[in-house]
Structure formats: C-alpha cells, structure tokens
Chain A
Amino acid sequence: MNGLLALVADFLEQAGNPARGSEVNELYRQRLSFLLEQDDGLEALLSSLELEPDDLPELSVDAWLWYLRWRSERHPPAGIDFLDALYQATEEPGVHARMVELAVRQPQVVERLGGSQNEGPAPRLEELPVPWLARRLLFSLDHGRGDSGVAVEASEIAVYLVQLGDPASRAVLRSLLSDPRALDAGLEPLQLLSPLLDREVLESFVDELRLER
C-alpha cells in the first residue's frame, strides 16, 4: 500500500470525482494548481506515485482517470499491472477510451510514434512503446474472442484509435490490423473500419495505413 497515496486520496477524490460536483472538483483542482506553483517539489512527488493493483480501492475510477490524465503531462505512466486492474474495474467504454488516449498520448510515445510515415512493414505490437496497451491487445487477440470469434476488446480499442486519429494512434492501429493474429481474430480492416468512416475517406485511410484489403 502506498502511504502517500492514502494521505492525499481524499484531496484527489474531491478534485477528480464528478459525483462531488463540478464546483468542488474545480475548487480542488485550482487549489492544486496554486500549490504546484508555490512548491517546486510537489509536482514530482505527486506525479511519481508508485501504483500497484491493490491501490485501486483508494480512489473512484473517475478520480483515477483524472489523476492519470494530470500525471500523464508530467511523468511516465503508471505500472502495467495497475493500469490493467483499472481497465478491468469497469466495462464503461468512456473510461476505456480515455485510458487508450492516455496510453498513446504520453509525451514519449508521441515523440517516438508521432512522426510515423507508415513506410515499410508495420512494427509488431510487442515492439511498440505502449507496453500496457500492447499487452491488452495481445491478450485480446490470443484469449479474448467472443462467441462470434472476434477479439472484442481489440476491436473496441481499434475504434478508439480511429477516433483519436493522431499519428501515434494510427501507428498502433496499423500494427494491430497488420498483425496476422488480428485477422485470425476477426479484425478484417475494411469490415472493422467501414461502419466508422465515411465511404469517401475509408479507402484512402486503408491505403494510408498500408493495410491489406
């Protein structure tokens, strides 16, 4: 258990849980901004909390998401096991979408994948600088097929990556849909993308990612 987390949990909950009301959330977030401006060491201390799955009950899912979003601008992401536990704590698509966003928009991920030109073969999922997201995708492709044989979670994550649409998200999407295991798991690019995109842009998007039709 992380003692510092236990000490600040109530503050983070007030700042991050919409159930406390947006006036309260904003008041505590503003307070945090002021404190960060006045104490140089506070940001490093708060953004580098070592998180383990058993820390999950300390905050609501909403407060965790708010904290992780705040942290993502300042520090490398939380550990894979913690993120897995948070992801699995809810079926809420909005939460899952935001976690995928946090994974691909980490500054170090943007730096490495932001200039992706989609030339040459797509990197394997295991090679991408998004270890938590890659693990979820691989688990889904290998073990997460629903009754229809489709890897449901990987399919859901693919939708979020299309929505995000930045170069890093497209690079991860390209690696996913180029992976032979994805095809085996029912993720055929045109079939997956056609309900999501205008016909006018569908083919050019598939070409841009150099996906097989």
Chain B
Amino acid sequence: MSAPLPPALEVEIEDAIETYPDGRLADLVEQSRFDEASLPLIVKYTAAKWSAPYKRRTGRIHISDSIDFTWGTGAYVTPLACPYSSAIFGRVGVVASFDPAGWRVFDATETRNQDLYLQWLRRQPLFRMSVLTMHSALSNHFLRNDFRERFEIDCVLFEPDQSNPVYTRRGDVWMAVADFSGPSGGRRIKTGASARFEDAKLTVLVEEEFEDRLHGVVRGGLLELSSGLPDPAQATAKIAEAHATDKIVRVRA
C-alpha cells in the first residue's frame, strides 16, 4: 500500500495508469491475435525440465517471485507480437491466451512514467536502503511490489533489460502481470499459478541454448548456427496458428 504521498503526485500517477483498451497495450494486443475473434496471446519461455504439464495442457503460467525480476512479483510474459524476444530464457515456448479487459496498465517504457515511479520511490521510507546499501535487490523487490499493490496495477509494460542481438529487438515490450488477492485498498500480489492466462500449451521449441554473460545483462547463444530468425510478424501468425491447431513451431538456432 506504501507510505502516504503528496496528493498531487498520487493524482499524477493515477493519471498515468491507463485502463485497457486505452494505451500501448491495445496495439500489442491487436498484433498478438490469431484472428479478430480470438483472445490475444502471450508467450513465456521456460526450461524443458518439468515442462510436461504444458505438453499435457494442464500447466498454468507461473508467477515469478525471485527478487531480481525487474518489476517484482508477477507473471513475466511477452505479447506474441514479440515472438522471440524472451526465448533467451528457455527452450520451451508456452503460448496462452488472456483477456485484458479493464486491466490497469503502467507503461514503464515511457520516460515520463519512469520519472513518476522514481518520484514515488524517493518518498518511500525504504528508499535510502534501496539505493545506499547492499540490500538493494531485496528492498527494491519489496518496493516494486508495494507500488503495484498501492496503485492496483494489473500489468507493467517494460523494455527488455536482458538481451541477445538476434532474439531481442529494440522496441520489444515485456509484460509483468499481477494476480491479486484481497479487497481493494488492501490488495496483495499472489504467487503460484496465474489465473490471468488460459489454454497454456507448449507451442514453440527453440533449438538454441543460452547462458548469462555480463551477469545476465546479455544472454549469449551457445550454438549460433544461423545468422537470423524469420520475420517476427510472420512468426507471430505461424505461432498463433500452431496454438489454435495444437501444433509445435520449431525455431532453428
């Protein structure tokens, strides 16, 4: 819920939060559908180990709560409009549908919104701890969750902060989606399996293997057998069709 804020800043942050279909998420949604009648799709890449529930279609998208995730606890997914962007995290691409109707979206790809978050951050009692001590990862995780709970933000859009020159493009967008429990005014971000996504299926298999370089800022390919990937727009359409028809798209290294 966070510390009390000057009313003017509170209003500014509230104004910056857009309710879908307003804002950038609407464009991403339009580019991430199989057809006009279908719900939009996301992809989440995960390790092959223990991924069988996605093959059996019994698995749900997992909510990540490791302290080093960019915007705190949430389901970290990529709109299918950016089909390969997060393939750097695992060989198994799980595609699922979602209904963003009414979602409150904070677009952290916008500098102005980043500034608002920083203004909020500076007014938090734990701010000093988050920048002046070695506990910064822990306190930042705490503060990011606090911000999203305080403003009941369903989805944060942000730019990739880990990349690979072939798989991650400038302009790609990633999503951190929250599942909430508790009443309005006392919302808490849940952990476990996300109820925001449906019909999660193993739909993409990536040949390449990746490893951390520069402490994970870069995810380097280990095979690098090809010099490029298929056009992302064509890949989005192909993966969406594969999801609808229970096929698997294989991405060559």
Contacts and interface: CB of A to CB of B under 8 A. Distances in A.
Nearest to B124: A163
Contacts of A36: 192-193
Interface string A154-172: 0000011011111111000
A70 B142 contact: no
B67 interface: yes
A105 interface: yes
Interface residues of A, number: 46
Interface string A56-98: 0000000000100110010000000000000000001111011
A27 interface: yes
B142 A196 contact: no
A37 B126 contact: no
Contacts of A201: 4-6
B66 A25 contact: yes
A33 B186 contact: no
B3 interface: yes
A100 to B, nearest CB: 11
Contacts of A38: 53, 58
A198 B123 contact: yes
A179 interface: no
Contacts, number: 125
A143 B226 CA distance: 68
B135 A94 contact: yes
Contacts of A197: 3-4, 123, 125
A98 B142 contact: yes
Interface of B: 1-6, 46-47, 49-50, 53, 58-60, 62-69, 89, 123-126, 129, 133, 135, 137-139, 142, 146, 150, 181-183, 185-186, 188, 190-193
22 contacts: A29-B65, A30-B62, A33-B63, A33-B192, A34-B53, A37-B59, A37-B193, A38-B53, A73-B192, A94-B138, A94-B142, A95-B138, A97-B126, A163-B126, A163-B146, A165-B1, A166-B1, A167-B185, A167-B186, A196-B125, A198-B123, A201-B6
Q: Which 6 A-B pairs have the closest CB atoms?
A: A94-B138, A166-B1, A22-B66, A30-B62, A165-B1, A94-B135
